[in-house]
Amino acid sequence: MKKAEEIGFASLMVIVFAVFVILGWGYAKRPRIVPLTLSIPGLALSLLQLGNLIAKAKRPSKAQQLDARSKPVEKSASVPKPPLSAETRKILEIWTWIVALALGVNFFGFMVALPIFLLGFIKFFAKRTWKLSVLISASFTLAVYLIFYVGLKTNL
Amino acid sequence: MFEALWDGLILVFSWPAVGYMWIGIIFGLFMGFTPGIGGPVTLALILPFSFGLDKVSAIAFLVATHSVVNNGGSVTAILFGVPGSGPNAATLIDGYPLAQRGEAGRAIGAALGASALGGVFGTIVLACIIPILRPIVLVFGPPEFFMLSILGVLFLATLSGDEPLKGVIAGLMGLMISLIGEELIVGTKRYTFDIIYLWEGIKLVPAVIGLFAIAEMVDLLVKGGAIAKPEKQVALSGPWTGVMDVFRHWGLFIRSCILGVIIGVIPGLGGDVACFLAYGQAAQTARKGEVEYGKGNIGGVIAPEAASNAKEGGALVPTIAFGIPGSGSMAILLGALLIVGVTPGAALLNEDLNLTFTMVWTLAIANLGGTAIMLLLTKPLSKLTFFEGSLIAPVIIAVCFIGAFMTTNSMGDIIVAIVLGIIGYEMKRLNYSRAAMLLGLVLGRIVEQNLFLSIRIFGGDFIFRPIAMGLVIIAVIVVAWSFLRPILKGRNERTA
């Protein structure tokens, strides 16, 4: 999993640097000097990193080599794909909450989105009591109102 | 000179200036404690409140607020892994692991002690340097600034432990991200994809919030439990142990302060560079047998904090002498001073020298006062690390959203914070240096601007100027050492 994640991230770096290089070529002479000076080495280094990771992934580890010597390799024609691990599910769930807060802020503003986010997150993600969830979200919203709206007179 | 020094002290303690100074200290600490707000945003927020004040009160209010912001930010960096501002990101690297080991109190004590003493150090240097200002600043031109910026990023790449390649990639990515937006000289819009928000580039505050604050909070939620592991709760040590650590590491402290002052004096480099360079030299000079840097070495807290506050004294030098702000915060401070009728330059160093020393005294007193307040609050604040992450994290994420949004009151800032949060979280998981990326982001524009100026003024030979050449040699040594170190380490381990 970690290896796949490493390769995935290194590939992303390669793609991003490649985009920087390709778009950089299109600019006039002066504005492209620094982008190309930085993005070409960036692309080369991230390709090197990706190559290293792929080579490492193909090379069996010492433990696997020892294991292969002691046991015959069993070929399984249809290995079922593992379901999403609990950790991955948790990560996706957290980012969903964060994106939902951003959407809430965009459509309804901070004073509506913040209490709903806190209430929902503490009740359903942290699995706490309604009493505690309401207490935290209400007191935080009140603090935000007093500090930013009343005190600093900012327009959130 | 001495008369002006004494007059400055009397002015600081005159009413209502002294009251405004304490309001500034408390407000600065509070804003510093709020993740992502940091120095420039805090100064921008108090700017409207200083308009109606007399010169002395305005100076006391503005300088006091600015000088303590990082103290509050270092506490959140240590307790939650959430830097209050950019400069606190360096404190996080070792401060947060110390908190996880149950030594939050010690780390905060060390951070505050180093900040206060570093601030006093910077102030003393400022007071001494005032008579000999001009030649020092004029030695550095665009080629030297360019090379110093490059050196800053390379230093950070070496901090990525045994994987310098990842550090360099992260640094280059940060530099590239900083180039997004309108190019400064010709005005070409680069990598903006016709999105108006991107015309002004990626702002530092949402980027810092995303890379560090949001990424750390997601990590905390994924791992579950509290920031400090429950079995370590009994090991919570007092803040005074941390303060004493500053004296035990006096060599590191002095080196970091000197570095901070030098970086502060050089316009344009700012606090982030000072902190990360100080951290870099601390890691480079680590003795055998010490706790590894990045895994909870107290030196990793002392060095950036000392440099961060020592830098403020240095940063005031070009601001008050030439009207050249040393950092973003100083640029805002400069604007505020002009608004209240204080004009930097020769007059401030001759006729209004007492006002200059008012700044010097305010800087020193605010540093000590802010530290005293924070030390009193350290123990209760340290206990926050034992709260359940699932209760603290959503509240901090909400504060992060507010901090990001307040940068330009745009949804774009929140989107940037989320995108960089996702990238920052993956970088943390895969051991890429987020600090190198952040520094690249901070320095990118400075690199480009100084490169163009260097070529225009000196042509392609700019690199052969003596100081620039010296910096090139240091850069080559740093890169060679960072790639050779893991190889030599592996060879030593095999022979042992």
What is Dmax (Cα atoms) for chain B? 71
Q: How many CB atoms lie within 10 A of CB B287?
A: 6
How many degrees, rounded to 5, is the angle at CA B453 between CA B448 and CA B457?
155
**Residue B435 CB partners (closer than 8 Å, separation 6+):** B89, B90, B93, B156, B159, B276
Check pLDDT > 80 for residue B270: no
DSSP string, A52-82: HHHHHHHSPPHHHHHHHHHSPPPP-S-PPPP
Identify the DSSP state of A122.
I
Please report, in angstroms and rounded to a whole number, the separation of the first and last CA atoms in chain B: 61
The predicted model gives A9-22 an average pLDDT of: 96
Identify the DSSP state of B236.
-
The verdict on A131 touching B (C-beta cutoff 8 Å) is: no
Q: Which of B444, B419, B431 is nearest to B211 (CA)?
A: B419
**Residue B321 CB partners (closer than 8 Å, separation 6+):** B130, B133, B134, B137, B344, B345, B348, B349
pLDDT tens digits along A50-60: 999 999 888 77
Residues of B in contact with A101 (CB under 8 A): 397-398, 401
Check pLDDT > 50 for residue B233: no
Q: Where are the domains of chain B?
A: 2-495
Report the residue from A27, A98, A136 with minimal CB separation from B188: A27
Cβ–Cβ gap A42/B448 under 8 Å: no
Q: Where are the domains of chain A?
A: 2-70, 96-151
Residue type, position B461, single letter: D
Q: Do B275 and B143 form a contact (C-beta atoms < 8 A)?
A: no
Cβ–Cβ gap A13/B214 under 8 Å: no
What pTM did the predictor assign? 0.70
Helix B55-80 and helix B328-339, axial crossing angle in degrees, nearest 10? 160
Residues B42, B32: Cα–Cα separation, whole Å: 8
pLDDT of residue B422: 95
Residue of chain A whose Cα is closest to the Cα of B389: A126
In three-state secondary structure terms, B161 is coil
Tokens describing residue B15: 């009413």
Strand partners for B89: none
| ipTM of the complex as predicted | 0.88
Report the residue from B45, B173, B447 with minimal CB separation from A42: B173
Nearest-CA distance A108 → chain B (Å): 12
Question: Sign (positive/negative) of CA torsion B393, B398, B402, B407?
Answer: positive
The verdict on B185 touching A (C-beta cutoff 8 Å) is: yes
pLDDT of residue B179: 93
Q: Which of B230, B282, B277, B257 is nearest to B113 (CA)?
A: B257
pLDDT tens digits along B16-62: 888 889 998 888 887 777 655 566 667 766 766 676 778 888 888 88
Q: Which of B315, B341, B239, B294 is nearest to B96 (CA)?
A: B294
Range name among A47-51, B220-224, B290-294 with the lowest pLDDT average? B290-294
The predicted model gives B105-116 an average pLDDT of: 86
Residues B440, B424: Cα–Cα separation, whole Å: 14
Residues B59, B296: Cα–Cα separation, whole Å: 38
Percent helix, percent strand, percent coil in chain B, to nearest 5: 80, 0, 20
Q: How many CB atoms lie within 10 A of CB B295?
A: 14
The predicted model gives B140-165 an average pLDDT of: 73
Residues B163, A49: Cα–Cα separation, whole Å: 10
Please report, in angstroms and rounded to a whole number, the separation of the first and last CA atoms in chain A: 41
pLDDT tens digits along B202-228: 887 788 778 877 888 898 888 876 655
Q: Do B374 and B115 form a contact (C-beta atoms < 8 A)?
A: no
The verdict on B432 touching A (C-beta cutoff 8 Å) is: yes
